[in-house]
Amino acid sequence: MIEYFGFDISIFYIMKTNTKKNISMILAIVWIANCFLAIMIAITTIWLPSMQAKTYTNIKADPFDGTVMPISYVPNWLKADLRNKALDFRNISSSDLVPIPKYDVSALLDQNNIMGRFTYPVMYMGSYTLNYKEYDGSHLGIDMRAPIGTPVLSIANGVVVRTVEADASGNKFVVIRHEGVNIGGKKQDIFSSYLHLSEITTTEGTKIKKGDMLGRVGQTGLATTPHLHFQIDTQDAPFHPYWPYTSAEARAKGLSFLQAVTAGLGADKAQKYTINPLEFVQNYLSGNPEKSAPTTQKVDIPLKTLDEIVDYIVPEIESAPSALLDEIVSYTPANEEKVIVASQTTYNSALCSNLSNISGSENFLKNVFKISGNACIFDNIEKINENSLLTRADALMMLMKFYGENPSDSISPFDDIAIGNTKLQGYAARAYEKGILRGENFFPNKNLTRGEFVEILGRFGKLTDANGKISYTDVPKTSSLFKNIQNYGATIGTKYKNFGPNTLISQREAAEILVKLMK
């Protein structure tokens, strides 16, 4: 007798009846039974174990005994050369490293807090406006700025449940499960995630101890500067690392994926499935595992409209008093000139609609009126102030007007420029057609460096070829910005050796660069 999961097939019956119809029927039953058996074997020996391998419930973490910060040391950001985005942590002297500042929401609102604001540019439940406010968007982690190669540590004992070398966006990240953590008086598992890594040094499916290195800071995925995106999900989150909306949901609201963060899309779900990661870590630094961590504050964050997020001007860390920063531009005047407003000058503001709303030194005003005489290149900037930093959108429209390029009637290929922002769409589309802009994302509201400004400027093809002559010695030959920065030096006949390519550019510096090109 042959038995297949309850099917008893008698050989004698087959032999007795011995008809083609019965034989065909028996063979069909045997074939079906074999298929069913194969499926059951696959489920029990392949599929179920693979599912277990993704959760690793068979591996138990060491008991929770407190936390450490995911990053221990950062450079002394007050030194200009240490703010170079190309700098590798392994090449920084230990004397230039300081313990990472505390994540303190109230302290980060102070513009004089250079170290804190530079380290934590995007807050928990914050937005991409860099206003240092929590519960202003749906960013469910905290961005921690650090040089490439900075060691990233497991915040607590746990099990490594995911190591991803590159997701769809190229993001390299690690997820760790921590067990039996007291959150709001209830012990539960939580999941810490570490994104944008340059290197992963741990192994999926293994235990990891508090303070063990799991990887190094990088700029993988959708990132404009080296940093660690650090977040903590609750055990109820449907997946890890959790994200509160899909690209389709963002498009349905007329938003790009990044605009949706600033708009606050999915903020209710973000608060439901995550906790404030550094508030949690700092709560347990003392090592008391029985101490209860606070639950996430539930705040109603109204969804912003597209008009509310399209044209904001991004404030930045380096808008703080210049006395707190090193001198980084060799031609910066040693003494500040008297600050005046446009209405106090003899210049006629009728040339451009917004030049009456301008403040700064007299030299700055002279430069603005000089280069705005024909094209009104500052007209797209709501408030003109020499110490304000330029966004990429401002810089592009300034340069397009400066070189007499008219906007296109087409839509640009950049997903992160709102369709409703027709002015920027037109200029970005024309710049893309001419090869001035490249890539898939434009990041219109991000500030840009002096080097990036001159790189875009150089793509207009108006600079003198340096023919191998090196004017600025602080730009590595390996840098993608090297050629156009040296061409700029040759064009203006600079006498200075340092350009400061990695310094964020202010309106004053942009005006000075363009005025020099007019001479």
Q: Could you give the CA distance from residue 207 to residue 58 in angstroms, rounded to a whole number?
A: 11
What are the Cα distances from residue 11, in Å, to 16, 22, 37, 139? 9, 12, 20, 68
Q: Provide the pLDDT for residue 319.
A: 28
Q: What are phi and psi of 183, to 5 degrees?
A: -115, 110
For residue 471, being part of any structural domain is answered with: no
Whether 302 maps to a domain, the answer reads: no
Q: Quick check: is 147 in a domain?
A: yes
Q: Could you count the other beta carbons within 10 Å of the beta carbon of residue 376?
A: 16
Same domain, residue pair 288 and 351? no
Residue of 340, 341, 342, 364 lying closest to 352 (CA atoms): 342
Task: Supply the pLDDT for residue 22.
Answer: 59
406 and 279 within one domain: no
pLDDT of residue 240: 93
pLDDT recorded at residue 75: 94
153 and 248 together in one domain: yes
Q: What is the pLDDT of residue 317?
A: 29
Instruction: Give the integer Cα–Cα distance in Å for 150 and 117.
Output: 18
**pLDDT recorded at residue 487:** 93
Give the list of residues 6+ apart from residue 100 with CB closer than 8 angstroms, or none. 69, 71, 72, 73, 74, 119, 144
> 282 and 255 in one domain?
yes
For residues 50 and 78, state if they share a domain. no
Answer yes or no: do 264 and 327 share one domain.
Answer: no
Question: Token digits for 194?
Answer: 């570490």
Chosen domain end from 257, 278, 293: 293
**Whole-angstrom distance, CA of residue 457 vs CA of residue 377:** 14
Same domain, 234 and 97: yes
Instruction: Let me know whether 399 and 349 are in one domain.
Output: yes
Q: How far apart are CA 158 and CA 160, in angstroms?
A: 7
Q: How far apart are CA 240 and CA 429, in angstroms?
A: 37
Same-domain status, 396 and 269:
no
Residue 458, Cβ neighbours under 10 Å: how many? Answer: 19
* DSSP 8-state code for residue 122: B
Side-chain half-sphere exposure of 64, counting CA atoms within 13 A: 26
> Cβ distance 442 to 417 under 8 Å?
yes
Q: What is the pLDDT of residue 118?
A: 92
Is residue 155 within 8 Å of residue 210, measured between CB atoms?
yes
The C-alpha atoms of residue 218 and residue 504 are separated, in whole angstroms, by 20
pLDDT of residue 415: 81
Which residue, of 28, 55, 82, is where some domain finishes?
A: 55
Of 445, 208, 196, give the one whose Cα is nearest residue 315: 445
Q: What pLDDT does residue 307 have?
A: 58
Secondary element (H or E) of residue 509: helix 507-518
- Containing domain of residue 193, as a range? 73-293
How many CA atoms are closer than 13 Å to the CA of 285, on its beta-carbon side?
12
CA dist list (Å): 23 to 1, 37, 261, 449: 16, 21, 66, 81
CB atoms within 10 A of CB 507: 25
247 and 106 co-located in one domain: yes
Q: Is residue 239, in this structure, part of any structural domain at all?
A: yes
Query: How do the pLDDT tens digits run along the chain, 519 residues long?
Result: 333 333 344 444 444 455 555 555 655 565 555 555 554 444 344 334 433 346 799 999 999 999 999 999 999 999 888 988 889 998 998 889 999 999 999 999 998 898 999 999 999 999 988 889 999 999 999 999 999 999 999 999 999 999 999 887 789 999 999 999 988 788 999 999 999 999 999 999 999 999 999 999 999 988 888 999 999 999 999 999 999 998 888 888 888 877 889 899 999 999 999 999 999 999 998 777 666 666 666 777 777 765 565 433 333 322 222 222 222 222 222 333 333 344 333 334 444 555 555 666 667 767 776 665 545 676 667 667 777 888 899 899 889 888 888 899 888 888 888 888 888 999 999 999 999 998 778 888 888 889 999 999 999 999 999 998 988 888 888 888 999 999 999 998 888 788 888 888 888 888 888 888 886
Whether residue 492 is contained in a domain is answered as: no
HEC string for 181-226: EEECCEEEEEEEEEECEEEECCCCCCEECCCCEEEEEECCCCCCCC
Identify whether residues 209 and 179 lie together within a single domain.
yes
Residue 78 within any structural domain of the chain = yes
Largest CA distance in the chain: 117
Same domain, 263 and 354: no
pLDDT at 353: 53
Q: What SS3 class is residue 27? A: helix
Q: Is residue 306 part of a domain?
A: no
Cα separation of the two ends of the chain? 101
- Is 75 in a helix, a strand, or coil? strand
pTM as predicted: 0.54
In order, the DSSP letters of 85-118 are TT-BGGGS-GGGEEEPPP--HHHHT-TT-HHHHH
Rounded Cα distance, 345 and 338, in Å: 12
- How far apart (Å, rounded) are the C-alpha atoms in residues 134 and 108? 11
In a domain, 159, yes or no: yes
pLDDT at 422: 87
pLDDT computed for residue 107 by the predictor: 94
CATH of the domain at 209: 2.70.70.10
The sign of the torsion formed by the CA atoms of 197, 199, 202, 205 equals positive
Q: How many CB atoms lie within 10 A of CB 145?
A: 23
Number of domains in the chain: 3
Per DSSP bridges, beta strands 213-217 and 151-153 are: antiparallel
